[in-house]
Structure 1
Amino acid sequence: MKKIVLGLLTAVLLLGSLESCNNKLNVQPVSSIDAATAFANSSDVLAGLVGCYAGLQSTNLYGGYVQFLTDILADNGDESFVGTFTQPQEAQRKTLLITNTQVSATWLSAYDVINRTNNVLANLGKLDTPAQQASAEGEAKFIRSLVYFDLVRAHGRAWNDGTPASNLGVPLVLTPTLTVADAQPVPRNTVAEVYAQVITDLTTAEARLTTGGPLTAFSATRYACAGLLARVYLQQGNFTAAAAAANRALGLPASGLNAFYGTNFGYSTGNVATATIPIATSANTIEDIFTIQITAQSGTNQLNTFYARNRRADVNVLPQFTGLLETGDSRAALLTTPTATAPAVYTRKYDAQYGNIKLMRVSEMLLTRAEANFRAGTTTGATPLADVNAIRTRAGLPALTSVTLAQILKERRIELAFEGFRLGDLKRNQESTADPLSGAVIPWNSPRLVLPIPFRELNVNPNLVQNAGY
């Protein structure tokens, strides 16, 4: 844990208004941060909040690896990593090592962002107005919840796998780490404790934040908080609460589905096959609830690096996935067309090098509401049939006259493909995956589908316990 914290100190030092020496080259090493100096006034605290969002842009987090690595780990034949990087290869083969450098980097970046949010939350009293305090608290708690939710899903057993109250999750650190002495060797909290903290934070955040619209999807709103709560409740199987939360998220003013699915990823026409590869998708759309902003100056779209056919082209889309698409499905336009000389199929979702990364969209909330209502036997906001038909109509498919759970899950699998949902969905639906080398079935609750606690963390924190199978 101590090594984590040493990395966190660097990030916080970048955010404050630290006094500088007269001699710029005479820099003395420090092992602590003077919070009174780093967060001296309202502007410093707001700058710290910006730093929280900047941390989410990291390639190790929502710049791509959180989504990419878990999708590859869960995959059972929809896609194939054909690149040379060993970290994704280990994930695809379900043979992650405790020394996997990407798993370690994501853990470190996650706790970096958590520490940034803790520093903001500890200094709310320095903001100028109650409105600023409420907004900063809501945004920081949303960000902390987002990171903790994905950490516990990756490094802990699924909510429906055994007993959450005794299964180990990840360490909950809720106060700032300002000195090396603050870096206590904390143990792992249980899965139930982490989920409870996430729900508490999000409930508070939703109450603190004011309204917003889709063009403000770069920052957390009450609707983004409700959307994340919908994810959490769906993962827990609390379907009544999930439907209600998704319904609140869909109350985002002036939002809705884009007329064309590809608009979410920078295309303005249904004829994607002949369209110019988009250079940037900086502008949010009416469908966005929360996005990671990427520009040439800030952030990196690592999904573009791995998935785009004009970059590394490391991920092929396989016939198992393309076979899910019905004739006339306009979402097929977001897949390349195989030829005799170029038989590989790629997704076009990440062709834009500086494309914003969409973490939460209206379509996800419609499908979450549909599934949760169907399972709970409720019609909060709309019927499951109406929500599924909204997705199908946008895709150019005929409306259904009735709907089954299998049809809802199929639409979700197609609509949200390659966006980081597969591992969570596989586990909560108790599906299986397969070893890509032997073809052996790997059940949803296999230890091979749980990320290890990084070796470097075990080295410095004797209170951390490794996951089973490592």
Structure 2
Amino acid sequence: MKKNLSIYALALAAGLFLMSGCDSKLDVAPTQSIDENAALSTSRDVEVTLIGCYDGLQDADVYGGGFQYTSELLGNSDELGFGGTFQNLLEMYNKQMTTANVGAANSWAGAYVAINRCNNVLSALDIVDEDKKERIEGEARFIRGSLYFDLVRLYARTWGDGDNAANPGVPIVLKPTRSVTDEDDVPRNSVAEVYAQAIEDLTAAKTLLPEENSIYATKYAAMAQLSRVYLMQSNFAAARDEANSVIQSGAFSLNPTFESLFFTFLDNAGANPEEYIFSMIVTQQDGVNDMNTYFGTTISSIVGTAGRGDIRVLPKHRALYEAGDARGAFFVTPTNNTFTQKYLDQFSNVLQFRLAEMYLTRAETNFRLGTNVGATPLADINAIRTRAKLKAATSVTLASILKERHLELAFEGHMLHDLRRNKMNIGALPYNSPRLILPIPQRETDVNKALVQNEGYN
């Protein structure tokens, strides 16, 4: 039976675009399926498809900014203002989303496009050159595991909100979709199952990936992502140990100043700072930073700045900083609105993980567990505070650690997830409000009748 276009057809079309095997660029048959022997027949074909996995990951609605600003808008409690005209962002800001929300639909589709490309790569490992096989498998599994983790965080109840084994998560698809039939009506797996799949992929990636891998994912990126997964599960010992391993590796170092972490194109010729563990690379020819699009603005005195200026920083947020905090000065008010300086650079790389997050995770988890693995919570917090030009603290509490996390990682995509995992209200909404969960896109439920819609959506 012929079906309407769904995530699987989208994934198929996008995946085939990146595969070689045709004698002529114009010799393209308009078909819903392709012989897999023609699609991936050499190691080079698989390597090209892997690049397509990264291309899907850096999509503007995925790791190119969409996942991050969605978290910031849904997690906002009057620390941000919104002055844009895009309905999908306004719905997120107001926590009044509809099943037709374009942002939710594009993030879902973009993630599954990348997942299907990863599945194509993983299905063809037997033809990959032996000296490249482990790395290629590790990269594909890192991307797939990361996407499943972020999908379940946004489109399902948070871990611990009810029965993880019963709460619907997102569909797990582990085989490439090369033709679209009724069998592709895949139901939602449970939240527990999706977390288990993410951990399985990321744990494998940690073992398979090298310590250095140019601009691509390394074993340390997998460890950093695992630390996030375990932190969301309140598995504090595992989150601590993954963060500690990244810190103790010595592969990264805290930048000497907070200001030097950003403007990677304008001030750092496009290179990542030593603190960055993994980012989406943006150049003048490729890639997009949608955090710049919405958080950024054009400052006439700073060449290379850009952005719509839709998301502004309100006084409630700025009042949280102590006097002398360099992070509290990292804002600009060109007219009547205040903006963070983190995203002024039009071609800045889109940050995913940096070392400061690992210090903050290690501090929090050590404090909760009463341990001092790697360092004391006080020492880790002071490493962050003194870099921000603040006096070293003499003691810490869970509240003070979480506040340092909030200020250090502000606007980097952590807000919703940190509040939900700590069961904190978001404005007048409880942490488990259905209004803080993205809808399953209407175009998906129309095509796939096996998909159950989230609570609160018609």
Question: TM class by shorter-chain length?
Answer: over 0.9
Equivalent pair of 2:243/2:359 in contact (CA under 8 Å): yes
Deviation at 1:233, TM superposition (A): 0.6
Q: Distance in 2 between matches of 1:232 and 1:40?
A: 35
Q: Secondary structure of the residue that 1:349 maps to in structure 2?
A: helix
Equivalent pair of 2:77/2:426 in contact (CA under 8 Å): yes
Figure out how many residues of one structure are paired with residues of the other and give that number: 446
Deviation at 1:249, TM superposition (A): 1.8
Q: Distance in 2 between matches of 1:252 and 1:82?
A: 43
Deviation at 1:18, TM superposition (A): 2.3
Paired residue for 2:325, among 326, 329, 343? 329
Q: Distance in 1 between matches of 2:55 and 2:151?
A: 18
Q: Residue in 1 aligned with 2:10?
A: 7
Say what the alpha-carbon RMSD is for the aligned residues: 1.7
1:451 aligns with 2:451: no
Equivalent pair of 1:177/1:183 in contact (CA under 8 Å): no
Q: Distance in 1 between matches of 2:249 and 2:173?
A: 31
Deviation at 1:405, TM superposition (A): 0.7
Q: Secondary structure of the residue that 1:401 maps to in structure 2?
A: coil
Q: Distance in 2 between matches of 1:25 and 1:44?
A: 18
Q: Residue in 1 aligned with 2:83?
A: 82
Paired residue for 1:265, among 238, 257, 262? 262
Q: Residue in 2 aligned with 1:274?
A: none
Paired residue for 1:382, among 375, 382, 391? 375
Q: Distance in 2 between matches of 1:418 and 1:406?
A: 19
Q: Distance in 2 between matches of 1:37 and 1:387?
A: 53
Change (3 A) 1:280 1:12: farther
Equivalent pair of 2:50/2:118 in contact (CA under 8 Å): yes
Q: Residue in 1 aligned with 2:236?
A: 239
1:105-133 superposed Cα distances (whole Å, 9 cap, x missing partner): 1100000000011011111111111x411
Comparing 176-185 with 416-425, greater Cα deviation is found at: 176-185
Correspondences of 1:212-223 after superposition (within 5 Å): 212=212, 216=214, 218-223=215-220
Q: Distance in 1 between matches of 2:17 and 2:333?
A: 46
Deviation at 1:221, TM superposition (A): 1.0
Paired residue for 2:353, among 333, 344, 360? 360
Paired residue for 1:467, among 451, 454, 458? 454
Q: Distance in 2 between matches of 1:57 and 1:450?
A: 22
Equivalent pair of 1:281/1:352 in contact (CA under 8 Å): no
Change (3 A) 1:333 1:182: farther
Q: Secondary structure of the residue that 1:290 maps to in structure 2?
A: strand
Q: Distance in 2 between matches of 1:114 and 1:430?
A: 30
Equivalent pair of 2:276/2:353 in contact (CA under 8 Å): yes
1:429-469 superposed Cα distances (whole Å, 9 cap, x missing partner): 111112xxxxxx11111000011111011001111100111
Q: Distance in 2 between matches of 1:358 and 1:332?
A: 20
Amino acid at match of 2:82: F
Q: Secondary structure of the residue that 1:358 maps to in structure 2?
A: strand
1:26-83 superposed Cα distances (whole Å, 9 cap, x missing partner): 6431111222222111111111111111111111111111111221011001111111
Deviation at 1:403, TM superposition (A): 0.7
Q: Residue in 1 aligned with 2:308?
A: 312
Deviation at 1:251, TM superposition (A): 3.4
Q: Distance in 2 between matches of 1:283 and 1:332?
A: 25
Q: Secondary structure of the residue that 1:442 maps to in structure 2?
A: coil
Amino acid at match of 1:16: M
Q: Residue in 1 aligned with 2:184?
A: 184
Deviation at 1:337, TM superposition (A): 4.3
Q: Distance in 2 between matches of 1:25 and 1:205?
A: 37
Comparing 136-145 with 179-188, greater Cα deviation is found at: 179-188
Change (3 A) 1:392 1:298: same
Q: Residue in 2 aligned with 1:272?
A: none
Q: Distance in 2 between matches of 1:374 and 1:212?
A: 31
Deviation at 1:392, TM superposition (A): 0.4
Correspondences of 1:17-416 after superposition (within 5 Å): 17-21=20-24, 27-129=28-130, 131-181=131-181, 184-212=184-212, 216=214, 218-266=215-263, 278=266, 282-310=270-298, 311-337=307-333, 342-416=335-409
TM-score by length of 2: 0.94
Q: Residue in 2 aligned with 1:273?
A: none
Q: Secondary structure of the residue that 2:30 maps to in structure 1?
A: coil
Deviation at 1:2, TM superposition (A): 5.5
Q: Secondary structure of the residue that 2:248 maps to in structure 1?
A: coil
Q: Secondary structure of the residue that 1:418 maps to in structure 2?
A: coil
Unaligned runs of 5+ in 1: 268-276, 435-440
Deviation at 1:349, TM superposition (A): 0.6
Q: Secondary structure of the residue that 1:250 maps to in structure 2?
A: helix
Q: Distance in 2 between matches of 1:367 and 1:257?
A: 12
Q: Secondary structure of the residue that 1:20 maps to in structure 2?
A: coil
Unaligned runs of 5+ in 2: 299-306
Equivalent pair of 1:210/1:222 in contact (CA under 8 Å): yes
Deviation at 1:181, TM superposition (A): 3.1
Deviation at 1:320, TM superposition (A): 1.1
Amino acid at match of 1:221: T
Amino acid at match of 1:128: D
Deviation at 1:212, TM superposition (A): 2.2
Q: Distance in 2 between matches of 1:192 and 1:337?
A: 44
Q: Distance in 1 between matches of 2:216 and 2:124?
A: 19
Q: What is the aligned-residue identity percentage?
A: 48
TM-score by length of 1: 0.92
Change (3 A) 1:26 1:203: closer
Amino acid at match of 1:260: T
Amino acid at match of 1:40: S
Deviation at 1:280, TM superposition (A): 7.2
Comparing 249-258 with 401-410, greater Cα deviation is found at: 249-258
Greater than 6 Å deviation, 4+ residue runs: none
Q: Secondary structure of the residue that 2:108 maps to in structure 1?
A: helix
